[in-house]
Amino acid sequence: MNQDGRIPDEARQGDILAIEDLAISYAHAVDDRDWGRWEALFTPDAVVDYTSAGGIMGNPAELAAWFPEAFAAFEWCMHSMSTHEIRFSGEDEATGRVHVLNRNGVRVDGEAEILDIGAVYQDRYVRQDGRWLFAERIEHTRYIDGGKFAEMLKGTVG
């Protein structure tokens, strides 16, 4: 349903806030490298696809196992979520998209660099046991910018 500009009822406002909180929790779980927390934000059978950024696609357990090695190159990261659009398709189902600026600290040849990745997450959300979860998250990388590390990464993205 197109909600552009309509004021949702009180219950739906709560749903919107919960889904926005889900996206923020995702960002903090990744930045804190808390892969157990990250995995708990998804249904067990969710599809997670990071292939556009040079990553993998799989279920949350597979991705949680992959993350520690994949993130070893980053000294730190900061995911900033914005421009969140949520569309409800039923009482317990919604789709959404959210912009992310993923800023990372890396070292190349001993020199500190900043790596920026801009992307859009295309999401599907479901409510289970009174909680909104990701049922699908697909990253669509829009740009990669930075120094030598960014140039190396650009050669691996789809």
Question: pLDDT tens for residues 94-135?
Answer: 999 999 999 999 999 999 999 999 999 999 999 999 999 999
What local confidence, expressed as pLDDT, does residue 2 receive? 56
CATH number for position 60:
3.10.450.50
Whether the CA torsion 14, 131, 122, 50 is positive or negative: it is positive
What local confidence, expressed as pLDDT, does residue 158 receive? 54
Query: What span, in angstroms and rounded, lies between the C-alpha atoms of 127 and 138?
Result: 19
The answer as to whether 1 is a domain residue is no
How high is the mean pLDDT of the chain? 93
From its phi and psi, is residue 146 left (phi > 0), alpha (psi between -120 and 50) or beta?
Answer: left
The answer as to whether 2 is a domain residue is no
Domain span including residue 103: 10-154
What local confidence, expressed as pLDDT, does residue 75 receive? 97
Q: What is the pLDDT of residues 9-50, one digit of tens each?
A: 888 999 999 999 999 999 999 999 999 999 999 999 999 999
